[in-house]
């Protein structure tokens, strides 16, 4: 039986963390590591949700009324998948209201590409897996209900996904990860009042990038809450630093538009230092000791180093116009037991289509 398959890329934020929530233009890259969602038509008693990376093999659900999914919240797997399941319920309802009931189906979510094997461990890389899953789920459901393929960015899809995204983050998240996964490629993302502006852009041809797992997982909601509290309690200091961060973003955008790789690397370095200063002022390890050590080693080779995302762990971004220097640093990182990789570009963004089973 034919089924729907959707792919949505993860993201790596290049410039503009935190400041993007206050209107600065940020840069983000869609990576060639993807969340995969399959919707498989089935018998009514075969409905279920599987997500191996969350430890969920088959969480059954029912649809007692068209558009309304009912979950067994007492199931031992519920806590691990509650956020995803609730999002599925909402997106299912919206798709059915728009296109009609598709009939019963199973949901299979695979985020293996957004993890990496490192020794005996499976590392969640911090590439925005939750947002990639959300984007893939939405596209898959719209494809299933409408019987037509879906791909790329639509502002309607972004608006639809931003509402539950911001609710889950108490209104703090910018949505740049959703937009990156929808659009693909490299994007400039800016919030303007209640609207967002998303533009496809190109990085300088001589720019080389590498990402490194810093050895610990981060909590973006916790860091955004600390950032908001600092802005409220120290408005003058916050305004001063955010002004510098905003200017850095503008200089970075200009360097990118001019194809000036060296200038863009310089703005990455400057922004990383500003993030470290901000972390100290708000009492949080935005730049962790491990990342600080990497930054020292990188600086000795003329390589920019900064958190990719909110910091506090997860990924560091390394950038240079000399790929050989990145290779030299990668050897040092491997000696320290750190996992580094070159992010490939997903230039398409989300796509969903009907296909034959494997």
Question: Does one domain contain both 164 and 279?
Answer: no
Classify 260 as helix, strand or coil. coil
Strands 48-51 and 105-110: parallel
d(CA 219, CA 240) in angstroms, rounded, equals 25
> For 19, which DSSP code?
G
Per DSSP, the residues of 46-96 read G-EEEEGGGTEEEEEEEEEETTEEEE-TTSTTHHHHHHHHHHHHHHHHHHH
Look up the CATH number of the domain holding residue 265.
3.30.70.890
pLDDT for the residue 342: 96
The whole-angstrom separation of Cα 297 and Cα 299 is: 6
Mean pLDDT in the chain?
94
Nearest alpha-carbon partner for 125 in 254, 185, 35, 232: 35
Share of the chain above pLDDT 90, in %: 84
* Residue 179 shares a structural domain with residue 215: no
Q: Are residues 196 and 216 in the same domain?
A: no
Report pTM.
0.95
- Whether 15 and 141 share a structural domain: yes
Asked whether residue 179 carries a pLDDT value surpassing 90, the answer given is yes
Dihedral-angle region of residue 215 (phi above 0 means left; psi in -120 to 50 means alpha; beta otherwise): left
Rounded distance between C-alpha atoms, residue 238 and residue 231, angstroms: 5
Residue-number span of the structural domain to which 51 is assigned: 3-202+345-355
> Cα–Cα–Cα angle for 203, 185, 268, nearest 5°?
40
48, 195: one domain? yes
- β pairing state of 48-51 and 3-15: unpaired
DSSP secondary structure string for all residues of 303-358:
-EEEEESS-SSSEEEEEES-HHHHHHHHHHHHHTT--EEPPPB--S--EEEEE---
pLDDT band at 193; cut points 50, 70, 90: confident
| Minimum mean pLDDT range among 5-9, 28-32, 133-137, 218-222 | 218-222
Instruction: Find the DSSP H helices in 200-322.
Output: 220-233, 235-257, 261-282, 289-300
Quick one: 198 and 239 in the same domain? no
Do 145 and 51 share a domain, yes or no? yes
Residues 20 and 154 in one domain: yes
pLDDT at 25 over 90: yes
Does residue 271 surpass a pLDDT of 90?
yes
Q: Are 65 and 124 in contact (CB under 8 A)?
A: no
- CATH number at 171 reads 3.30.230.10
Assess whether pLDDT exceeds 80 at residue 119: no
| Least trusted range by pLDDT, from 51-55, 192-196, 201-205 | 192-196
pLDDT at 113 over 80: yes
Number of domains in the chain: 2
Residues 95 and 129 in one domain: yes
**Average pLDDT, integer, range 49-74:** 91
On whether both 138 and 266 belong to a single domain, the answer is no
In a shared domain, residues 75 and 187: yes
Per-residue pLDDT band for 246 (boundaries 50, 70, 90) equals: very high
How crowded is residue 134: how many other Cβ atoms within 10 Å of its Cβ?
A: 28
Whether residue 26 is found in the same domain as residue 172: yes
**What average pLDDT does range 253-277 have in this prediction?**
98
103's torsion region: left (phi>0), alpha (psi -120 to 50) or beta?
A: left
């Amino acid at each position: 039986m034919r089924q729907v398959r959707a792919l949505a890329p993860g993201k790596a934020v290049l410039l503009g963390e935190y400041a993007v929530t206050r209107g600065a233009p940020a840069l983000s890259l869609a990576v060639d590591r993807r969340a995969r969602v399959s919707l498989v038509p089935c018998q009514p008693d075969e409905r279920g949700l599987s997500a191996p990376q969350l430890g969920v093999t088959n969480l059954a659900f029912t649809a007692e009324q068209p558009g309304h999914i009912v979950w067994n919240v007492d199931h031992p797997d519920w806590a691990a998948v509650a956020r995803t399941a609730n999002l599925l319920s909402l997106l299912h309802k919206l798709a059915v209201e728009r296109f009609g009931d598709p009939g019963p189906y199973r949901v299979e979510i695979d985020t293996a590409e957004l993890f990496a094997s490192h020794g005996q461990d499976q590392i969640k890389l911090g590439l925005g897996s939750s947002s990639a899953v959300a984007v893939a789920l939405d596209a898959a459901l719209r494809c299933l209900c409408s019987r037509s393929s879906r791909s790329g960015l639509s502002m309607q899809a972004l608006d639809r996904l931003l509402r539950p995204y911001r609710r889950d983050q108490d209104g703090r998240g910018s949505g740049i990860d959703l937009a990156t996964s929808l659009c693909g490629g490299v994007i400039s993302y800016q919030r303007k009042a209640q609207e967002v502006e998303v533009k496809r852009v190109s990085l300088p041809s001589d720019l080389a990038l590498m990402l490194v797992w810093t050895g610990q997982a981060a909590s973006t909601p916790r860091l955004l809450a600390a950032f908001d509290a600092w802005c409220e309690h120290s408005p003058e200091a916050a305004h001063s630093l955010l002004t510098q961060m905003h200017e850095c973003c503008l200089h970075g955008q200009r360097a990118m538009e001019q194809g000036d790789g060296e200038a863009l690397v310089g703005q990455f370095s400057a922004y990383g230092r500003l993030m470290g200063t901000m972390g100290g002022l708000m009492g949080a390890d935005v730049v962790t000791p491990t990342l600080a050590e990497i930054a020292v080693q990188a600086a000795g080779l003329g390589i920019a180093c900064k958190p990719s995302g909110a910091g506090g762990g997860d990924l560091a971004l390394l950038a240079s116009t000399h790929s050989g220097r990145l290779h030299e640093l990668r050897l040092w990182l491997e000696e320290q037991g750190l996992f580094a990789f070159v992010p490939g570009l997903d230039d398409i963004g989300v796509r969903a289509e009907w296909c034959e089973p494997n």
